[in-house]
Amino acid sequence: MRFAPDKVGVIIAALLFYTLLLLPFATFRANRIIQGETRSIFEALPAFFSYALIALVVVASFIAMLRGAVTLRLVCALACLSALAFTIGIAASHLTPPDNSYARVSPAIGFWLLLAGLVLMATDAIARLDPKPSTRVLLLVSSLGLIGAVLVSGYWDDLSLLKEYKSRADIFWTEAGRHVQLALGSLFAATLVGIPLGVLCYKVKKLRSGVMNSLNIVQTVPSIALFGLLIAPLGWIAANIPGAADAGIRGIGAAPAFVTLFLYSLLPVVSNTVVGLDGVSASVREAARGLGMTSAQRLLKIDFPLALPIILTGIRIVLVQNIGLATIAALIGGGGFGVFVFQGIGQTAMDLVLLGTIPTVILGFSAAILLDALIDSQLLKRENRT
């Protein structure tokens, strides 16, 4: 019988083989700023661990190419990810000279590509298994719990990224809170305004094109330019309206960042509300009208429950978008993880850049999974109703 490999698996296997053979695993630097020297897997790890990691990745690569072995593919990907997390900690301890607090060991491009390939392998397997929404949330919580446990254990303490964190631990959590406040606060405000506005556009079709075109224009303005445009009017409000400055409204800082994120959030919320309500079957509405429901009752008890998955899809888009855009708020003093990103760029300290980038990616990834699970659960409820 002819062997027919899995096409996605072949791409993943090629990436993993290329990374193992040609790319460095870790980078060693005498201090945090100077140019580093790359180390291969064999140079970065003791012999036993280097051969063990290579063997695991090679086995996972061959399994990735097999058709139908979805569960086995997921198990192998998770095992390799665990081994990768374990060995990068060993590499940091192995390469750092004893009693040297200045040396820095960072994951190199080979580590990141191995991580990307194995995450792609795991997510592809999960997508094919199509687990229940609750199972996906459980997998996410378990993964975050394992990462948290490793961080608390101190096993990665010799990595440069963790050294950057230790010197900024208090500031890190302050900026993390600001980042979440900006992302969630702007989403909450956009939801409060956008859903009623979407209902109004759905009910009054003459308003729809004007509102949508206006929101589309806002989306075309680059985020940095919009930050700049808001500095002057918000500064005027702070200077001329009593109590505005005390309420936190200023030309720079969190206020223009919040307003910018709010404006960017309106289009997905409004448009998805309109699309969701438009998609409700006319026969369902007629049946509700025949039961004697008023217009408000039909909207709340029929239209909204049926349109909710599409509305939640717009909210998902907004949340993931805002988590990423909130990083740029640091340019105007808005805080957030962007503080570390731009400090790292200014100091040519890539581990400091990663200190802001990695939490942002994890937040966005987690938000997407949670809201996808919520949307799918709403779809299942809608199918059960019908």
Q: What is the tens place of the pLDDT at every residue in 230-248?
A: 777 777 776 777 766 666 6
Q: What is the mean pLDDT of residues 41-55?
A: 92
Q: Would the pTM of this model clear 0.75, i.e. be above it? A: yes
| pLDDT single digits (tens) 244-292 | 666 667 767 778 888 888 988 999 999 999 998 888 887 877 787 777 7
109 and 195 in a common domain: no
| pLDDT single digits (tens) 81-124 | 999 999 999 999 999 888 777 888 999 999 999 999 999 999 99
Residue 224 lies in a domain: yes
Among 323, 321, 312, 315, smallest CA distance to 181 is for 323
Residue 331 CA to its chain's centroid (Å):
20
Given 124, 139, 160, the domain boundary residue is 160
| pLDDT single digits (tens) 136-184 | 899 889 888 988 888 888 889 889 989 889 888 889 999 999 999 999 9
Residue linked to tokens 């445009």: 229
Residue 85 lies in a domain: yes
Q: Which tops the pLDDT comparison, 17 or 249?
A: 17
79 and 222 in a common domain: no
Given 160, 192, 215, the domain boundary residue is 160
Residue linked to tokens 């490999």: 5
What string of DSSP letters covers 157-222?
Answer: TTBHHHHHHHTTHHHHHHHHHHHHHHHHHHHHHHHHHHHHHHHHHHH-HHHHHHHHHHHHHHHHS-
- The number of domains in the chain is 2
Question: Using CA atoms, how far apart are residues 287 and 213, in angstroms rounded to an integer?
Answer: 34
CB neighbour list of residue 328: distance below 8 Å, 6 or more residues apart? 223, 224, 227, 338
Binned at pLDDT 50, 70 and 90, residue 1 comes out as very low
Q: What is the mean pLDDT of residues 178-193?
A: 92
Residue 58 lies in a domain: yes
Binned at pLDDT 50, 70 and 90, residue 56 comes out as very high
199 and 134 in a common domain: no
386, pLDDT greater than 60: no
264 and 347 in a common domain: yes
Residue 121 lies in a domain: yes
Binned at pLDDT 50, 70 and 90, residue 383 comes out as low
Average pLDDT, the chain: 86
184 and 137 in a common domain: no
261 and 176 in a common domain: yes
187 and 151 in a common domain: no
| pLDDT single digits (tens) 284-329 | 777 877 777 777 888 788 888 888 889 999 999 999 999 998 898 8
Residue 253 lies in a domain: yes
Among 22, 25, 97, 11, smallest CA distance to 61 is for 11
145 and 181 in a common domain: no
24, pLDDT greater than 90: yes
Residue 2 lies in a domain: no
180 and 137 in a common domain: no
Q: Which pLDDT belongs to residue 188?
A: 93
Question: Using CA atoms, how far apart are residues 382 and 8, in angstroms rounded to an integer?
Answer: 33
Q: Which residues constitute the domain of residue 233?
A: 169-385
Q: What is the CATH number of the domain that holds 279?
A: 1.10.3720.10
Q: What is the CATH number of the domain that holds 145?
A: 1.20.140
| pLDDT single digits (tens) 169-179 | 889 999 999 99
Residue linked to tokens 């509300």: 273
Residue 65 lies in a domain: yes
Given 160, 182, 203, the domain boundary residue is 160
Residue 1 lies in a domain: no
364 and 254 in a common domain: yes
193, pLDDT greater than 90: yes
Q: Which pLDDT belongs to residue 76?
A: 92
Among 322, 315, 303, 330, smallest CA distance to 363 is for 322
Q: Which pLDDT belongs to residue 316?
A: 92
184 and 129 in a common domain: no
377 and 244 in a common domain: yes
Q: Which pLDDT belongs to residue 247?
A: 62
Q: Which pLDDT belongs to residue 382?
A: 65
7, pLDDT greater than 60: yes
In DSSP terms, which residues pair with 104 in a beta bridge?
A: 29
